[in-house]
Structure 1
Amino acid sequence: MNKVIIVGRLTRDPEVRYTQTGKAVASFSVAVDSGYGDKKRADFIPVIVWDKLAEVCGNNLTKGRRVLVEGRLQIRDYEKDGQKRRAADVVAQNIEFLDTKQAANNPSAPPKTPGYDTSSFGTEVFPEEEIPF
């Protein structure tokens, strides 16, 4: 089984291109935090997205947006300056946008749920009622 799930922020806007056959392909990198305290660091993971999902990413994602990427790991070999090299990419099969464009532009602002006041959720408890499960 080859399955990868990462959560992080885009390090740059997606670059959308089209193959000779007209298939859309988008590429971008996701910064994923690891470690904690003095050992905290970020890994910059390249992501490739195909077809309609590539167009959706190109139209909606921007640098700084928080995303969850689900896909598979792809190892590819290539040659540069006469040297054989190897690279790893995540080929995305599903992408979830975890924030809004406004939250990406202002990361210190708390997330908003439009049209709902959730501040009082769960404050009323009725101990005499029986829970139906």
Structure 2
Amino acid sequence: MMNRVILVGRLTKDPELRYTPSGVAVATFTLAVNRTFTNQHGERDADFINIVVWRKPAENVANFLKKGSLAGVDGRVQTRSYEGQDGKRVYVTEVVAESVQFLEPKNAQGHFPSDFKQNQGNSTQQANPQKQAYSSDSKPVEINEDDLPF
């Protein structure tokens, strides 16, 4: 079985960051995702999808994304229910993000560095894309046979 969601859209408001009683960060936000077709008036409708992200990525989202930021979310759909204050059962469908990508440079929204990407628990910045970890300098790579997995 498979439960995988990949979304690209804009935040409808600033993310809300909270902490559980045990100190685990959790951020929630709503992503507006345009539909691929237009309605009868020639306008594009959008779906507003609730997103939940945990731990360090939640803190990164809260620090670097704001209302209107373009973001990519990779995660899974989760449904849950609880009893509301009026005693009625409330059903919630949301995406639990495993990865959130910041898709705009700082100049566009003014919130984060140009090449900043945030993945589950780690972030990377490429200050100079010319200096890649795997360069083509044509030098042979020495590998000890004990390091090979096969």
TM-score interval, smaller chain: 0.7 to 0.9
Distance 2:8 2:35 in 1: 11
| DSSP 3-state at the match of 2:63 | helix
Aligned length: 110
1:78 corresponds in structure 2 to: 82
Deviations 1:60-116 (A, max 9, x none): 0011000110001010101221111211010000011110243136xxxxxx99999
Q: Which amino acid aligns with 1:104?
A: Q
TM alignment of 1:1-133, pairs within 5 A: 1-37=2-38, 38=42, 40-80=44-84, 81-104=86-109
Cα distance in structure 2, aligned partners of 1:46 and 1:83: 21
Structure 1: which 5+ runs fail to align? 106-111, 117-133
Structure with greater contact order relative to length (CA < 8 Å, sep ≥ 6): 1
Return the TM-score normalized by structure 2.
0.67
Once residues 101 and 78 of structure 1 are traced to their aligned partners in structure 2, the CA distance between those partners, rounded to angstroms, is: 39
**Consecutive aligned runs of 4 or more in structure 1 exceeding 4 Å deviation:** 112-116
Deviates more, 1:80-89 or 1:67-76: 80-89
Measure the CA separation in 2 of the matches of 1:20 and 1:115: 41
Residue deviations 1:12-64 (CA, integer Å, cap 9, x gap): 11111010100000000000000433252011100000000001111100110
- Return closer, same or farther for 1:115/1:20 CA change in 2, 3 Å cut-off: closer
RMSD (CA atoms): 2.2
- Provide the secondary structure at the position in 2 that maps to 1:36: strand
CA distance in 1, matches of 2:104, 2:48: 19
Structure 2 gaps, min length 5? 116-126, 130-150
TM-score (norm. length: structure 1): 0.75
